[in-house]
Amino acid sequence: MTSRIGILGAGGRMGRAIIEAVRASDGVTIGGAAERPGHPCLGESLGGTMTICGNPSAVAHNSDVLVDFTTPDALKSNLDAALGAKCALVIGTTGLTGAHLETIDQASRDIAVLQTANTSLGVNMLAALVMKAAAALDTDWDIEVVEMHHRHKVDAPSGTALLLAEAAAKGRGSPLASLAERGRDGPDSQRRTGAIGMASLRGGSVAGDHDVIFAAEGERMVLSHKAESRETFARGAVRAARWLTGKPAGLYTMKDVLGL
């Protein structure tokens, strides 16, 4: 069955990469594409009579699954569009708060929703390895998550850094909120035993680098992932959208798609 994918944030970096990935993939077509009202790309042709519009609801009604790579502020209207059309939804947007996650959870009682900070196979495999290492190594091993992204990225730490830190915290058997040390600065910044530190670098065109460092006296282990381009994320998003098509209401992750 061909899956019709509606692309939200179609004029953005990921939106454009996803349009290309859908065109290059079998078993999927573009159901429609939306951008925020007033965006310069509104009306841009996607081939035939299809153009980028300002109405996510119209896109949802012509799609089997929506793919949202926009901003946290757009989440509510994107969820409403999906709920109104009973359309499945893949959410790749990062920078989400607890309140956003609660709204997503509620929506997933009525429609299939997949939320993930990273659609790549490598990062999701890395998270599994990080959890295992964090569980096996005691607190003599300090855990630090370091990420680097392009100069345009607005949120920090990256959603993926948080996902990896969550995996480490799970391995250590404690909630991340009780272990995380974010944005150290100033004279009283010494790490606590058992803390999970996080640091963010920004610059140039880096698609997405993540290192999880396990540092002990005299030795250091680094579990690392580097995305070479956005194509990786776009291909993963299309794979997730195809997988989610026709699934019952519920909240899914990339682990479900990849069978990890």
Ligand X SMILES: O=C(O)C1=N[C@H](C(=O)O)C[C@H](O)C1
Ligand Y SMILES: NC(=O)C1=CN([C@@H]2O[C@H](COP(=O)(O)OP(=O)(O)OC[C@H]3O[C@@H](n4cnc5c(N)ncnc54)[C@H](OP(=O)(O)O)[C@@H]3O)[C@@H](O)[C@H]2O)C=CC1
| 77 closest CA partner among 94, 98, 91 | 91
Residue number of the CB atom closest to ligand Y? 12
The neighbouring-strand residues paired with 146 are 199, 211
Q: Judge whether 153 counts as a catalytic residue.
A: yes
Decide: helix, strand or coil at residue 35.
coil
CA R_g for the chain: 19
Please report whether residue 4 would count as binding ligand X according to CB under 6 A: no
Cα atoms in the 13 Å half-sphere on the side-chain side of 217: 3
Please report whether residue 16 would count as binding ligand X according to CB under 6 A: no
Candidate list 149, 152, 170, 225, residue with the active-site label: 149
Q: Is 156 annotated as a binding residue?
A: no
Residue 96: CB atoms within 10 Å: 19
Q: List C-alpha distances in Å: 125 to 7, 13, 258.
A: 26, 25, 9
Question: To 5 degrees, how large is the angle CA 110–CA 175–CA 143?
Answer: 125
Please report whether residue 208 would count as binding ligand X according to CB under 6 A: yes
Please report whether residue 149 would count as binding ligand X according to CB under 6 A: yes
Measured CA to CA, the distance from residue 193 to residue 196 in angstroms comes to 9
Rounded least distance, CB 72 to ligand Y, Å = 7
For ligand X, give the closer residue by CB, 32 or 208.
208
Please report whether residue 11 would count as binding ligand Y according to CB under 6 A: yes
The option from ligand X, ligand Y, none interacting with 149 (CB < 5 to 8 A, set by class) reads ligand X
Measured CA to CA, the distance from residue 156 to residue 190 in angstroms comes to 21
Rounded least distance, CB 147 to ligand X, Å = 7
Rounded least distance, CB 173 to ligand Y, Å = 27
Binders of ligand Y in range 153-172 (CB under 6 A): 159
What residue ranges bind ligand Y (CB under 6 A)?
A: 8-9, 11-15, 34-36, 39, 69-71, 74, 92-95, 116-119, 159, 233
The site for ligand X (CB under 6 A) is made up of: 94, 117-118, 149, 153, 158-160, 208
